Structure 1
Amino acid sequence: MCKQGLRISELIGLCANDLHLGTGAHVVCHGKGRKERITPLTPATVKLVRDWLAEQQMGPDSPVFPTRRGTPLSRDAIEHRLKVYIPVASRTSPTLVGKRVTAHTIRHTAAMRLLEAGVDTSVIALWLVMSRSRPRPSTCMPIWRSRNALWRSPNTADATQPISPARYVACLP
């Protein structure tokens, strides 16, 4: 679920019936401020989730990531797992050595990967519900600056596109 940029609260709150794995595969998340958002799933993620669900044999209202007792994992459990597996991952990805990696860092990594793949910043903001009626500059500016750097790069296909001075404000229902 790292590719979807889920918050910890969204991840631990997922139930099996929040996953839609057919055509137009997506996950329905219930996030901050009781906002509901729909995020598409990649084919690779769909395969992993299908395998996981088959292994778990859970009901529709069961948590997708349960404890041994069948209750949802806690925030602390997720952070603990990150602390255990980041050193393991750093063996094959040396850039992780010495870095502080949190679940929120992974959320920002998902946003940056979408940006690098050419996804428009307004779409990223909607998928991750990063903006309210007025986006906070401290949250959005690193992404906007990265977008500008990518557009100005001579190795980028979008280098000839002008940079719009307008600011995006989401209009959510």
Structure 2
Amino acid sequence: MKHKAMLSLIYACGLRRSELINLTLNDIDSKRNVIIIRQSKGKKDRIVPFSGKVLEMVRDYYKLYKPKHWLFEGQNTSEKYSEQSLQSVLKTALEKTKITKPVTLHWLRHSYATHLLENGTDLRYIQELLGHNSSRTTEIYTHVSTKSLQQIKSPFDDL
């Protein structure tokens, strides 16, 4: 349950691995369905929304594990979960599901952005959600998303 919650949060909120690991209990605002990302890359804070589905998963995890400070604690409850262990969790999940393609934790974040774009989310919002300084950084997702391009009707079709 813990590992599923961790990987789900990375994808569902477009988090960097360090952002997930640095989450504290105070960073989850379940009333507003947002997570506060504090002092991330570039020492910036940002807020990201999360779905009720993910909130329920995190609540179930919380009830079972009862973390004290860090949302995801390591074996020693006073320490946060390690990045190496998180990478190992992903590797194990891939083995269990028999996925042989190379997948990284960052690809979950990349998929989040690509899926938002494919569903019509404005690139400026995606930039804000990902915490990118420059729109140029976010624009890498535009070349990946062909689904939206395929939906565009050519004016020639109306002739």
- Fold-level similarity (TM above 0.5): yes
- Identity between Structure 1 and Structure 2 (%): 27
Gaps of 5+ in 2: 1-8, 154-159
Unmatched runs of 5 consecutive residues or more in structure 1: 91-95, 161-173
Preserved CA contact (<8 Å) 2:73 2:81: yes
The two structures have a TM-score, normalised by structure 1, of 0.75
SS at match of 1:79: helix
Q: Which position in structure 2 is the counterpart of 1:74?
A: 82
Deviation track 1:5-58 (CA, whole Å, cap 9, x = no partner) reads 111110100001100112x21101121122111000111001111111122223
Task: Please state which structure has a larger fraction of its residues in helix.
Answer: 2
Deviation at 1:119, TM superposition (A): 1.2
Q: Is the 8 A contact 2:15 2:109 kept in 1?
A: yes
TM-score by length of 2: 0.81
In structure 2, what is the equivalent of residue 25 of structure 1? 33
1:144 pairs with 138, 142, 145, which one?
A: 142
Q: In the TM superposition, what whole-angstrom CA distance separates every residue of 1:50-83 from its partner, at most 9, and x where no partner exists?
A: 1111222233xx1111112111011111111111
Note the C-alpha offset of 1:144. Answer: 1.8
Tell whether the 8 Å contact from 2:123 to 2:138 is kept in structure 1 after alignment.
no
SS at match of 2:97: helix
- Which structure ranks higher in relative contact order (CA pairs < 8 Å, sequence separation ≥ 6)? 2
Equivalent-residue separation in structure 1 for 2:57 and 2:110 (angstroms): 22
Residue 47 of structure 2: aligned partner: 38
Cα RMSD (Å): 1.9
Between the two proteins, the alignment pairs up a number of residues equal to: 143
Cα distance in 1 for residues equivalent to 2:97 and 2:116: 21
